[in-house]
Amino acid sequence: MAVQHSVGPDPYFPANGDARYRVHRYELTLDYRPGPNRLAGAARINAIAGRSPLAEFQLNLADFKIGRVRVDGRQAHYTHRGGRLRVRPAKPVRPGAAFTVEVHWAGNPKPVNSPWGGLGWEELEDGALVASQPIGAPSWYPCNDRPADKASYQISITTPSAYAVVAGGRLLTRTTKASTTTWVYEQAAPTSSYLVGLAIGKYETVLLGDPGPGGVAQHGHIPAHLLPQFSRDFARQPQMMELFQELFGPYPFDEYAVVVTDEELDVPVEAQGLSLFGANHVDGARGSERLVAHELAHQWFGNSVSIADWRHIWLNEGFAKYAEWLWSERSGGPGAQQLAAAAHRLVASMPKDLRLADPGRKSMFDDRLYERGGLTLHALRCALGDDAFFRMLRGWVALHRGGSVTTATFAAHAARYASEPLDDVFNAWVHGTRLPPLPRQESRIPERPTHPPTNAGPA
């Protein structure tokens, strides 16, 4: 059964989120005009109070003009400063009671500032995209911005009809009236606020492979002039989906979409049921195929199984990094042992002061966290053996689907699959800072018959 951790303020981002309540559904109604970069929105947020009466609570929302705020249909007092919308209901919400918040806002969305530059809503030359990890969600909608507070979403977006709208989840309706089109998406699976992805642009839509009965629908949304390169660069994504379902368990959502913007992005970014790539990630030569695997793997590790707070980010990035190595091993590239050796040499050349279990805010996205995280999974594989290791991964995903986890949760889970204690592995790789010796792998993933590459075709 999925666990939703109820924790206090995130130690890395104490101004984000409010642990005194949890949200179980957001319904967002948005109108966006790309020319003036104008966003008007209304949110209906269904939430449940915690163990104490809620005389006031906070949402995170960037610098928009607030139209009105209501709690259970009654006007509420509010203040809005520094990205915090503090709400005081007309009467306190009883402990454990369900309540509904309505917020109307409007303005020109822009990224929120962070140590990694602007995050969240980004205006493009012709359209917009949202890439929020870790604290960019308030750049465009009011939310309880903490990764453990997962909710379902319905998002309705009206834009000029020349633009396509892509969001994570299932497209329910697309309705055109005069010169505008309204797109309505439903994401039923529990979703962290930073994982609500969105892209608005002029895209061609293609189907990646044939999902067949019981398969996963996979679509690409690409500028027309990049379609030839995309068709080769993402041709093997359906095979990745097959492999990861074999190794990790069933794909956790209804559909999977990838968007390639017509502008460059520093790195691709995962969202729930959706990944965003830049034009620089398609070259027609599969030059970024490891990143295609990395972002797909996040649908299991990070999105379905989410972290309780940002100290545990290695559980997202280390697992996705190791998935890159597993894909390489199965698809005829270098094996995990060879890639682990290269990662070990890389980490050995870097400072030895990063602790996976609590890397600190400044090092959340440090290359060492990704590489050492992958090495930790490899060390566990070597300690457990292939059979127990992959049973452990499938059990982890199944047990915590839709929930949130910590490093301690994972250590306890892995221990159940071990014939000998794993304390030395976790102490050395996760809690220590020195670089342990490279572990030795005795076997590779058993080979299965390979399928010819699947070409992307018109949807």
Contact 298, 270 (CB under 8 A): yes
CB 434 within 8 A of CB 338: no
What are the extents of the domains in the chain?
1-199, 309-431
What confidence tens digit (pLDDT) does each residue in 74-111 have? 999 999 999 999 999 999 999 999 999 999 999 999 99
Residue whose structure tokens are 């699947």: 454
How confident is the model over 219-273, as pLDDT tens digits?
999 999 999 999 999 999 999 999 999 999 999 999 999 999 999 999 999 999 9
Whether 58 contacts 84, CB under 8 Å? yes
Contact between residue 324 and residue 268 where contact means Cβ atoms under 8 Å apart: no
What does the pLDDT look like over 338-384, one tens digit per residue? 999 999 999 999 999 999 999 999 999 999 999 999 999 999 999 99
- 29 CB-near residues (< 8 Å, 6+ apart): 41, 42, 43, 156
Residue 140 has pLDDT above 80, yes or no: yes
pTM for the predicted model, two decimal places: 0.94
pLDDT tens column, 183-224? 999 999 999 999 999 999 999 999 998 887 878 999 999 999
Mean pLDDT of 277-295: 97
User: CATH fold of 1-199, please?
Assistant: Immunoglobulin-like (2.60.40)
Please check whether the two domains, 1-199 and 309-431, share a CATH topology: no
- C-alpha 379 chain-centroid distance: 25
Residue 442, pLDDT score:
67
Model confidence over 396-408: pLDDT tens digits?
999 999 999 999 9
Chain centre distance of CA 25: 18
Q: What angle (nearest 5°) sits at the alpha carbon of residue 367, between those of residues 361 and 373?
A: 85
Kindly provide the b/e burial profile for residues 298-321, where b requires at least 16 CB atoms within 10 angstroms of the residue's own CB.
Answer: bbbbbbbbbbbbbbbbbbbbbbbb
Find the mean pLDDT for residues 437-441. Answer: 89
* Fold observed for domain 309-431: Neutral Protease; domain 2 (1.10.390)
| pLDDT value at 450 more than 70 | no
Q: Is pLDDT of 455 > 80?
A: no
Closest C-alpha among 382, 389, 385 to residue 440: 382
Q: Return the residue matching tokens 């009467």.
A: 91
**Which residue, chain included where needed, has tokens 């790309």?**
34
